[in-house]
């Protein structure tokens, strides 16, 4: 079998430039195994990871199409070059989670930053992403870097960039980057020359635990005085959220949560779950078993970097637990904050439930809707009160953390649950009250994971070319295509909405489904049952529309 000479030459050029001995060994081993390793080698050199609004994210492996020391060195060099060109120097805060390679990538970033004249400040240990976002604002840094792949599989890692007030503005201070910053950073990364010529400075300064305790105190201050009697079962899902959430609960006066022992400590292999994402089937099984056994009032899960929050509630005296959808918790938290009198705009995205808009209209508070992603949600309004996305992301304290924060969200839902318990009510009762007032807004998601990204483009092209004429036997009232601004297609009838888009962080196509069932003069239970049956049928029709 003939080997592409260009591929061998490109791999050897990379080998000569890679500063990491382990990375060089990987490439040598692949070169030695040619021709058997040709497909894997070609995949690693298919192109560089692209720096977008989610930063970098990819598999841990040597080569330009992976997360490794060489790629991170180039990314850090491009980032600091871009920052200097914008006239920003000063503090660069760097955080990292407990995934494979995270600490090494953070330390490499610090050395590149100090060589460029920045004051590199590393968080003291593996910590949640919200702590990094908090630190950018608290320390008035020009930017922040968080090394994490959030809820991706164990073989991945990632690199997220946050901007301070100088470049982010008032509504983007401490928030993730948005265009055109991503394109500017990407161009600067591509312009980096040989890595041997990238200067490395001192290792920077490791911050003390005060930054973590400061975050915990600020998180505790998010909740108001009130009842605290609540039994919580909790899992950090093998991630870094446990100690920080426990400290914040103690600061706020809540009893310590009971933690799933098998998932309490950080473990980059995530051995007890297929995917370390509370949205995935089976990910919360151990948590629900603990909640049932311990007689908990509430079950809470964070994802591994603790920027997302999931909850489950008991079904009743007969036992069993129900995990809430992101939309259900999103509207619950909004209603709670509105009842508390928190002023400002309440925001969500075009794929989240329309129930938040109905709630805001009923309460007479400002509402905003954005494209998908927290980078957009937190910029929905300067006076932002709250933002959420259906993928378990909640921002309950935007003046503290201008990003999704699974720890302050957990505190806020605990506050709500404790207050309801003191009144002899439950979270299920409050959900029913909202459905009675606003109508049943049932949401679901159809998610198609692919091994070849071209399959996503093919499915999007298929549904664009032949959108269904009806949904649930009702003619469409609108077909909204947001291309080229965004790869999003929305189909609507009077009571149905379907939003179809590729995932921004995983190899998936997602269809977000919503059915609105007004109560009229009927009973809530009848509307809930009808919406469930309708959703089953809608799911089948959308699968057919995607050619599945």
Q: Cite the active site residues.
A: 150
* Residue 219, token pair as written in the block: 């998180």
Q: Give the integer Cα–Cα distance in Å for 534 and 531.
A: 5
E-state strands within 72-122: 91-96, 119-122
Strands 298-302 and 232-235: parallel
Which stretches of 116-157 are DSSP H helices? 129-138
Angle at 365 between CA 335 and CA 392, to 5 degrees: 40
Specify whether the backbone of 236 is left (phi greater than 0), alpha (psi in -120 to 50) or beta. Answer: alpha
CA dihedral of residues 31, 33, 37, 38 (deg, nearest 10): 50
CA dihedral of residues 361, 363, 366, 372 (deg, nearest 10): -70
Q: What element of type H or E holds 183?
A: helix 181-190
DSSP label at 194? Answer: -
Mapping DSSP to helix (H, G, I), strand (E, B) and coil, where does residue 412 land?
helix
Angle between helices 406-422 and 326-339 in degrees, nearest 10: 70
Q: Give the integer Cα–Cα distance in Å for 66 and 196.
A: 19
DSSP label at 80? Answer: H
Integer CA distances (angstroms), 228 to 252, 256, 336, in order: 9, 11, 16
What pairs with residue 312 in β-bridges? Answer: 299, 323
Note the Cα 461 to chain centre separation in Å: 27
Contact between residue 86 and residue 167 where contact means Cβ atoms under 8 Å apart? yes
């Amino acid at each position: 079998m003939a080997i592409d000479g260009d591929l061998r030459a490109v791999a050897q050029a990379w080998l000569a430039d890679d500063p990491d001995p382990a990375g060089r060994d990987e490439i040598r081993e692949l070169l030695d195994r040619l021709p058997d390793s040709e497909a894997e080698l070609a995949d690693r050199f298919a192109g560089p990871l692209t720096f977008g609004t989610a930063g970098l994210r990819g598999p841990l492996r040597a080569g330009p199409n992976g997360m490794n020391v060489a790629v991170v060195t180039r990314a850090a060099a491009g980032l600091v070059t871009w920052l200097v060109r914008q006239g920003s120097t000063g503090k660069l805060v760097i955080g990292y989670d407990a995934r494979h390679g995270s600490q090494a990538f953070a330390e490499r970033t610090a050395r590149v930053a100090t060589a460029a004249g920045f004051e590199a400040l590393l968080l003291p240990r593996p910590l949640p992403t919200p702590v990094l976002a908090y630190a950018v604002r608290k320390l008035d840094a020009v930017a922040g870097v968080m090394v994490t792949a959030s809820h991706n599989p164990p073989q991945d890692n990632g690199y997220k960039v946050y901007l301070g007030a100088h470049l982010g503005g008032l509504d983007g201070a401490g928030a993730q980057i948005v265009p055109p910053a991503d394109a500017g950073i990407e161009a600067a990364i591509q312009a980096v020359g040989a890595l041997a010529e990238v200067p490395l400075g001192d290792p920077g300064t490791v911050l003390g635990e005060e930054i973590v305790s400061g975050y915990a105190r600020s998180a505790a201050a998010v909740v108001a005085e009130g009842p605290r009697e609540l039994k919580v079962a909790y899992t950090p899902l093998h991630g870094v959220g446990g100690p920080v959430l426990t400290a914040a609960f103690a600061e706020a006066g809540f009893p310590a949560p009971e933690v799933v022992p098998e998932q309490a400590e950080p473990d980059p292999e995530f051995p007890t779950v297929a995917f370390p994402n509370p949205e995935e089937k089976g990910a919360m099984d151990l948590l629900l078993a603990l909640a049932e056994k311990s007689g908990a009032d509430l079950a809470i899960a964070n994802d591994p970097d603790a920027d997302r929050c999931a909850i489950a509630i008991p079904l009743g005296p007969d036992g069993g637990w129900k995990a809430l959808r992101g939309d259900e918790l999103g509207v619950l938290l909004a209603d709670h904050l509105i009842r508390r009198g928190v002023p400002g705009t309440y925001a969500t995205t075009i794929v989240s439930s329309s129930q938040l808009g109905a709630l805001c209209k009923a309460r007479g508070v400002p509402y905003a809707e954005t494209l998908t992603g927290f980078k957009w949600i937190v910029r929905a309004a300067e006076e932002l009160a709250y933002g959420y996305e259906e993928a378990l992301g909640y921002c309950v304290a935007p003046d503290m953390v201008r990003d999704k924060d699974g720890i302050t969200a957990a505190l806020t839902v605990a506050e709500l649950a404790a207050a309801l318990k003191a009144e002899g009510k439950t979270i299920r009762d409050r959900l029913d009250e909202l459905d009675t007032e606003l109508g049943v807004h049932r949401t679901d998601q159809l998610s198609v994971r692919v091994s070849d990204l071209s399959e996503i483009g093919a499915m999007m092209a298929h549904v664009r070319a032949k959108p269904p004429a009806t949904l649930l036997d009702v003619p469409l009232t609108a077909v909204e295509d947001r291309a080229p601004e965004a790869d999003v297609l929305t189909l609507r009838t009077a009571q149905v909405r379907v939003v179809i888009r590729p995932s921004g962080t995983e190899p998936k196509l997602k269809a977000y489904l919503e059915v609105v069932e007004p109560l009229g003069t009927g009973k809530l239970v009848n509307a809930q049952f009808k919406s469930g049956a309708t959703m089953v049928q809608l799911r089948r029709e959308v699968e057919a529309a995607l050619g599945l």
